[in-house]
Copies of this chain bind each other. A is one copy, B any other.
Amino acid sequence: MQEIIYKPIGIIHTPFNAPTGIPIQSSGGKGISGTIEIEPEYIPCLKDLDGFSHIILIYHLHLSKGYNSEVKPFMDKTLRGVFATRAPKRPNPIGISVVKLRKVRGGILYIKDLDIIDGTPLLDIKPYVPTVDAFKTEQIGWLTNKVDKMKKKQADKRFL
């Protein structure tokens, strides 16, 4: 199939400068602050964003090279299909996080509650709206009884 080409709209800066020890989900990164440096050409696209307390970041997991079809996730000891996990090594290494937006100053976004590594290229920003973005589920598969731990879990070296 045809290749799809994207261009980063900015760079995410965080205190995490190595892929180990970082929270595996943004809910585990509570209180961690960072910034996003938006490329000058996209600054006009930021208008009105500061009205939202939470934003969705879509980014390129730039340190992730290659993937395995089945992986042992951080929360498990069993091999799982990679699409049934949030492992960073994926066929297309795309990450998503919902983070708190503290303020916008020119081309700099001040964000909080982060699980993202420093220097990550940002692809898109969308406002987060619970009415359309929060869902109730009937089943969470292999993560049943494991989600509470997921919030506290930090990444080890398994996906390096």
User: A140, B51: Cβ atoms under 8 Å?
Assistant: yes
User: B96, A58: Cβ atoms under 8 Å?
Assistant: yes
User: B134, A134: Cβ atoms under 8 Å?
Assistant: yes
User: B124, A90: Cβ atoms under 8 Å?
Assistant: yes
User: A129, B123: Cβ atoms under 8 Å?
Assistant: no
Closest-by-CB residue of B relative to A55 is B83
- List, in ascending order, chain B residues with CB within 8 A of A48's CB: 80-81, 84, 141-142
Give the docked Cα–Cα distance between A47 and B76 (Å): 15
A residues 2-49 touching B (CB-CB < 8 Å): 2-9, 11, 25-28, 39, 42, 44-49
Interface size on A, residues (CB 8 A): 73
User: B5, A4: Cβ atoms under 8 Å?
Assistant: yes
User: A47, B27: Cβ atoms under 8 Å?
Assistant: no
Select A52's contact among B27, B92, B126, B137, beta carbons within 8 Å.
Answer: B137
Give the docked Cα–Cα distance between A51 and B126 (Å): 28
Distance between A131 CB and nearest chain B CB, rounded to angstroms: 4
User: A52, B7: Cβ atoms under 8 Å?
Assistant: no
A residues 69-118 touching B (CB-CB < 8 Å): 69-70, 79-86, 90-92, 94, 96, 98
Distance between A77 CB and nearest chain B CB, rounded to angstroms: 13
Q: Please tell me if A125 contacts chain B, counting CB pairs below 8 Å.
A: yes
